[in-house]
Amino acid sequence: MQPFLDTLMDSQILVMVAVLVIMAAWESLNPFFSYFRGDIRNRGKHALRNLTIGAANALLVAGIFIGLWLAAAVWADEQRIGLLHFLQDYAVIPIWAHAIGAILFLDIWTYAWHRMNHEIPFFWRFHKVHHSDNKMDVTTASRFHLGEILFSSVLRLPLIVLFGVYFWELVLYEILMFAVVQFHHANIGLSEKADRILRWVIVTPNMHRVHHSRWQPETDSNYSSLFSVWDRIARTFRINERPETIQLGLDNMDEDEHQSVKGMFKTPMKKDQVLK
């Protein structure tokens, strides 16, 4: 199992970089919105800001939480604690069913956590850093405030134990989830037919553009990250038949003071910002 885990962890970075490069190339050749067309300088500035935030988050996770998640998963396994371990021991489910269950449980939690970030004002202070990007592209997938990553990483610890998730399953979920997150944030031209077929299974660009609309009824919809089914089940699914008309970002947050790296880090502390 250790060689497999090592391969997964090595693949995680490779997949992230590969999808980033592929989506960036697609955005150059066939963008959906034209805000960066012929403007390499501002596109590069935008990408550098978002990826700087993403790098800070990656350092936090790698430096603190990967070890904690591993320890929680190992302890739950040794003690045979958690729903999936119980099912594996007493219902004798195979390892592949355990893995599918882990991915589904983790994705349900991701949906719930995302929705909490919109519905709880304190968490929205941090999450709006992600939504304030008015020129969404593949790099927006990395644009989350350090505080949001801290909270989500801490809350994941008891869930690993509660669900009985193996660490390799968590890594596999991260690979799948972040690849899809990069895809649906990308400013790519994808045919409506292809988007419509894909969004029966995963979250797609046109589905997620609705979520990044600055019109609140659209912002507060489409919370899924990997599988789109959770929005359909929870009745938070919404589609805009004319996605090219969507206005991205948040009102009163287009200025550079909110778009710079320093501004993004300071956003949650600004008391003059409307919570919701």
231-247 b/e (C-beta count within 10 Å ≥ 16 → b): beeeebbbbbeebeebe
User: Long-range contact list for 243-248, CB < 8 A, 24+ apart?
Assistant: 243/32, 243/206, 243/209, 243/210, 244/32, 244/33, 246/209, 246/210, 246/212, 246/213, 246/218, 247/213, 247/214, 247/215, 248/33, 248/133, 248/134, 248/135, 248/136, 248/209, 248/212, 248/213, 248/214
pLDDT of residue 254: 84
Angle between helices 83-90 and 146-163 (to 10 degrees): 20
pLDDT of residue 209: 98
pLDDT of residue 67: 95
pTM assigned to the model: 0.94
> Residue with structure tokens 């935030």?
53
Give me the residue spans of the domains in the chain: 2-269
pLDDT in tens, the chain (276 residues): 677 777 777 788 999 999 999 999 999 999 999 999 888 999 999 999 999 999 999 999 999 999 999 999 999 999 999 999 999 999 889 999 999 999 999 999 999 999 999 999 999 999 999 999 999 999 999 999 999 999 999 999 999 999 999 999 999 999 999 999 999 999 999 999 999 999 999 999 999 999 999 999 999 999 999 999 999 999 999 999 999 999 999 999 988 888 999 999 999 987 655 445
